[in-house]
Amino acid sequence: MKVYTLDEIIIQRQSAFPYAKGDLSRLLMHIGVAAKIVSREVNKAGLIDILGETGDVNVQGEEVKKLDVYANDQFIAALKSTGICAGIASEENDDIVILDDEMSLNGKYVVCMDPLDGSSNIDVNVSIGTIFSIYRRVSEPGKPVTKEDFLQPGNKQVAAGYIIYGSSTMLVYTTGLGATSFTLDPSIGEFCLTEEVVKTPEDGKIYSINQGNYFQFPEGVRRYIQYCQETDKATKRPYSLRYIGSLVADFHRNLLKGGIFIYPETDKAPNGKLRLLYECNPIAFIAEQAGGMAVDGNGNRIMDIKPTELHQRVPFYVGSKNMVKKAIEFNKEFSGK
């Protein structure tokens, strides 16, 4: 059976865009290369001295692990080498990264990314991930990008995806023609096509939420959790709670099996914890392309939210369409939404 690689599928899909000059394709291929480099380091993190703190703290106030810095550097270098990306908004950088070399200044695209999401799991060998989101720049080519290039609503994304560094390394991406998944075959160093059209079940039996915050949740969220815990008359069993604390890993499992992931508003974090630009929007794009749904606590579509800040947080309800709708019903009934 023919094995299709990421590059072959990217080029194949490009033909669906008659005016495409191949820039987006090259951008995606370079992301694939950086992902392979990061995957190699993640998979030997326990073996060589890249664990432990750098002593720095990032804009989130979290300890920065060496692998965070390494991943950020690798993806910035890969994006810069394309000459197509004009700037980057990264979880690891307080402000935008302007790529001001001659080629990049004329780049058509900008990228928002979380280079290594779930980094608190690095040294306990739990799956972590990279999340990326690609937009056409809105500022004039030939000049440095501005913050406005990154504060676009998610419905303007031209592509988005994630890499999950788990028992195997997988890459899932979309350009708006459905979500497609690939698995890295280290023996040939290629991402190989796994599922050409990823579809997520409309219903599921998995709910993912940090119940440690239970008493900080809005009433509607607490009621939805109770609903999930009640024994289902038909199947005689409640839902299963699955929560790894690594967004990419929790989302990827629910995408394939059906489920809902919720990081809601809490007393301490009224806008939740997850970032709109480089966590929620790209994951929302994949979810919607797979037939799922992604909204905030009021049921507003994540991808329609106009960002106002680079590191803006937003309550995040994402996954199987009917489960997300049910959770929002509880919010509307009990949380005065």
Is 245 a binding residue for ligand P6P by CB under 6 A? The answer is: yes
In terms of CB distance, is 109 or 263 closer to ligand P6P? 263
Q: To the nearest whole angstrom, how small is the minimum distance from the Cβ of residue 317 to ligand P6P?
A: 13
The region that residue 61 occupies, defined by phi over 0 for left and psi between -120 and 50 for alpha, beta otherwise, is: left
Q: To the nearest whole angstrom, how small is the minimum distance from the Cβ of residue 185 to ligand P6P?
A: 26
Q: To the nearest whole angstrom, how small is the minimum distance from the Cβ of residue 124 to ligand P6P?
A: 13
Q: To the nearest whole angstrom, how small is the minimum distance from the Cβ of residue 118 to ligand P6P?
A: 4
Q: To the nearest whole angstrom, how small is the minimum distance from the Cβ of residue 141 to ligand P6P?
A: 33
**Residue span binding ligand P6P (CB under 6 A) among the ranges 196-204, 242-250, 282-290, 302-310:** 242-250
Of 139, 146, 183, 210, the one binding ligand P6P (CB under 6 A) is 210
In terms of CB distance, is 62 or 333 closer to ligand P6P? 62
Q: Which of positions 264-323 make contact with ligand P6P (CB under 6 A)?
A: 273
In terms of CB distance, is 80 or 253 closer to ligand P6P? 253
Q: To the nearest whole angstrom, how small is the minimum distance from the Cβ of residue 273 to ligand P6P?
A: 6
Q: What does the alpha-carbon distance between residue 13 and residue 199 come to, in Å, rounded to a whole number?
A: 18
Q: To the nearest whole angstrom, how small is the minimum distance from the Cβ of residue 229 to ligand P6P?
A: 19
In terms of CB distance, is 118 or 319 closer to ligand P6P? 118
Phi, psi of 196 (to 5 degrees): -65, -40
Of 306, 274, 302, the residue nearest 91 (C-alpha):
274
Binding mask 109-128 for ligand P6P (x = CB under 6 A): --------xx-x--------
Q: To the nearest whole angstrom, how small is the minimum distance from the Cβ of residue 51 to ligand P6P?
A: 16
In terms of CB distance, is 51 or 188 closer to ligand P6P? 51
In terms of CB distance, is 6 or 247 closer to ligand P6P? 247
**Residue span binding ligand P6P (CB under 6 A) among the ranges 19-27, 68-76, 164-172, 245-253:** 245-253
Structure tokens at 183: 């698995």
**Residue span binding ligand P6P (CB under 6 A) among the ranges 50-58, 179-187, 241-249, 327-335:** 241-249
In terms of CB distance, is 156 or 214 closer to ligand P6P? 214
In terms of CB distance, is 82 or 130 closer to ligand P6P? 130
Of 277, 259, 247, the residue nearest 160 (C-alpha):
277
- What is the SS3 assignment for the chain? CCCCEHHHHHHHHHCCCCCCCCHHHHHHHHHHHHHHHHHHHHCCCCCCCCCCEEEEECCCCCEEEHHHHHHHHHHHHHHHHHCCEEEEEECCCCCCEECCCHHHHCCCEEEEEEEEECHHHHHHCCCEEEEEEEEECCCCCCCCCCHHHCCCCHHHCCEEEEEEECCCEEEEEECCCCEEEEEEECCCCEEEEEECCCCCCCCCCEEECCHHHHHHCCHHHHHHHHHHHCCCCCCCCCCEECCCCCHHHHHHHHHHHCCEEEECCCCCCCCCCCEHHHHHHHHHHHHHHCCCEEECCCCCEHHHCCCCCCCCECCEEEECHHHHHHHHHHHHHHCCC
Q: To the nearest whole angstrom, how small is the minimum distance from the Cβ of residue 246 to ligand P6P?
A: 5
Residues that bind ligand P6P (CB under 6 A): 117-118, 120, 210, 245-247, 250, 273
